């Protein structure tokens, strides 16, 4: 490819790979529909549980696809490295001539993509179930913009960039608490939470616009780039933050899911079943906001992952259970990693922010799946 190309051209190989990938995903979803929902009971002395056979297979499949995509992410890039060299460098010979490119650039980036996608998707699934509204996600009720206000301010004012993740996380969590407090009126109802959230979201959006017109354009560009959501420069320390956060908050959501499943049936039903409604709702909001805040603080407010992936997971796996939540998270990781690979390779060597791909490809692709599902 000539270095003087002014306008980036889509890479032919990447387009073919995207098409093959999309067809593969469509076929995998079709195959999943063939596996019936069948409850398998597991009992070992004091332990008992049920597992839906389809969800079990879906989780295994999602783990396999994630591993495959991680491998692709390690092999593919501007600097040509053979598949064998890339995988060897990443997995067992953690040094050698490709060490920096594979282990300091590509591996942390794919890891961050998977973990951030998991956090966003799980957060969206919990919010959608909690508020009984399929159009809700942390980005719509202002949690992402809460992070963005601080992140954009730091970038636009030329502040200390190392503070950015902490500030973004604080902004997101602070916004979640503000929404909860403002929505409180003898308990928090779902619809009031959404309305308050939408109000806060637009107020925060206005602050962001103010900041972007107030500061010099060169710095505002960096802020705009962050706002699109990007995995550029993802490091192992980002991955570590995400891993620690996920390891605490995801099990929290997982164990709260059985109470969430009762809250879905209405506060009165849940309370009559022995759920402590307000306490458990607050716990769920804390866990879900924490997951979203974590992801946004590292990769920026990526559009659509938290909104769309839970829908996709529900279409394939069924209504929310602990297992479906795990599958949703894995699907989020796959979605974000695939989007980032496309963003890197589609116009290579020009790199798009991953958020552009999640929005531009995710939206239409979701509509396609929805249309197919509704017809079938």
Partner 1 sequence: MGKQPIEPALAVQNLRLSYGGPTIINDLTTVVPAGEITAVVGANGCGKSTLLRAMARLMKPVEGAVLLDGQNIHSLATKQVAKRLGLMPQAPTAPDGVLVGDLVRRGRYPHQRLFDQWSIADQAAVALALELTRMREFVDRPVDELSGGQRQRAWIAMALAQDTPLMLLDEPTTYLDMAHQAEVLDLLTALNANDGRTIVMVLHDLNQACRYAKHIVALAEGKIVAAGAPGEVMKPDLIEQVFGIGVHVFEDPVTATPMCVPMRY
72 CB neighbour count, 10 Å cutoff = 18
The reply to whether omega before 243 is within 30° of 0 (cis) is no
**3-class DSSP assignment, residue 125:** helix
Tokens 């307000």 belong to residue? 278
The answer to whether 375 contacts partner 1 (rule: CB under 8 A) is: no
Tell me how far, at minimum, the Cβ of 247 lies from partner 1, in Å: 18
The answer to whether 42 contacts partner 1 (rule: CB under 8 A) is: yes
- Piece of the chain touching partner 1 by CB under 8 A; list 18-26, 47-55, 64-72, 173-181: 47-55
The answer to whether 15 contacts partner 1 (rule: CB under 8 A) is: no
Q: What residues from 176 to 215 belong to the interface with partner 1 (CB under 8 A)?
A: 186
The answer to whether 95 contacts partner 1 (rule: CB under 8 A) is: no
- Piece of the chain touching partner 1 by CB under 8 A; list 207-215, 243-251, 264-272, 333-341: 264-272
Q: With respect to partner 1, which residue has the nearer C-beta, 190 or 362? A: 190
The answer to whether 132 contacts partner 1 (rule: CB under 8 A) is: yes
Helix (H) or strand (E) holding 245: helix 236-263
Q: With respect to partner 1, which residue has the nearer C-beta, 64 or 273? A: 273
Adjacent-strand bridge partners of 43: 48
| C-alpha torsion angle, residues 104, 109, 110, 112 (rounded to 10) | 120
Q: With respect to partner 1, which residue has the nearer C-beta, 300 or 322? A: 322
CA-wise closest residue to 300 among 156, 205, 118, 169? 169
375 CB neighbour count, 10 Å cutoff = 6
The answer to whether 129 contacts partner 1 (rule: CB under 8 A) is: yes
* C-alpha span between 51 and 318 (Å, rounded): 13
**3-class DSSP assignment, residue 44:** strand
Candidates 268, 374, 375, 376: give the one binding partner 1 (CB under 8 A): 268
* C-alpha span between 248 and 294 (Å, rounded): 12
The answer to whether 272 contacts partner 1 (rule: CB under 8 A) is: yes
Tell me how far, at minimum, the Cβ of 44 lies from partner 1, in Å: 10
Could you list the residues that contact partner 1 (CB under 8 A)?
Answer: 37, 39, 41-43, 46-50, 129, 132, 186, 255, 258-259, 261-262, 264-266, 268-269, 271-276, 314, 318-319
């Amino acid at each position: 490819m000539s270095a003087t190309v002014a306008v980036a051209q889509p890479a032919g190989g990447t387009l073919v790979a995207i098409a093959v990938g999309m067809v593969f995903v469509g076929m995998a979803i079709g195959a999943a529909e063939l596996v019936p929902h069948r409850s398998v009971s597991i009992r070992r002395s004091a332990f008992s549980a049920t597992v839906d056979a389809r969800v079990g297979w879906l989780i295994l499949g999602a783990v396999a696809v994630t591993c495959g995509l991680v491998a692709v992410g390690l092999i593919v890039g501007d600097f040509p490295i053979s598949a064998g060299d890339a995988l060897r460098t990443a997995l067992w010979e953690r040094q050698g001539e490709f060490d920096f490119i594979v282990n300091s650039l590509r591996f942390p980036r794919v890891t961050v993509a998977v973990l951030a996608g998991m956090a966003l998707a799980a957060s969206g699934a919990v919010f959608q179930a909690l508020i009984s509204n399929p159009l809700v996600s942390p980005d719509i009720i202002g949690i992402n913009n809460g992070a963005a206000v601080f992140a954009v301010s730091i970038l636009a004012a030329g502040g200390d960039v190392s503070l950015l993740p902490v500030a973004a996380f604080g902004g997101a969590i602070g916004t979640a608490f503000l929404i909860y407090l403002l929505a409180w009126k003898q308990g928090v109802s779902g619809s009031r939470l959404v309305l308050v959230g939408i109000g806060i979201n637009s107020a925060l959006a206005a602050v962001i616009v103010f900041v972007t017109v107030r500061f010099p354009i060169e710095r505002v560009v960096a802020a705009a780039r962050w706002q699109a959501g990007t995995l550029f420069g993802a490091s192992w320390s980002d991955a570590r933050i995400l891993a620690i956060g996920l390891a605490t908050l995801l099990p929290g959501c997982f164990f709260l899911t059985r109470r969430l499943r009762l809250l879905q049936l209405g506060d009165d039903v849940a309370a009559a079943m022995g759920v402590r409604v307000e306490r458990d709702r607050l716990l769920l909001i804390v866990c879900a906001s924490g997951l979203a805040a974590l992801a946004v603080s590292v990769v920026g407010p990526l559009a659509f992952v938290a909104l769309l992936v839970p829908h996709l997971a529900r279409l394939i796996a069924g209504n929310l259970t602990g297992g479906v939540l795990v599958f949703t998270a894995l699907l989020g990781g796959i979605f974000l990693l695939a989007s980032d690979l496309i963003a890197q390779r589609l116009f290579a060597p020009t790199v798009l922010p991953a958020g552009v791909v999640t929005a531009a490809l995710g939206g239409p692709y979701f509509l396609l799946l929805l249309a197919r599902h509704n017809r079938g």
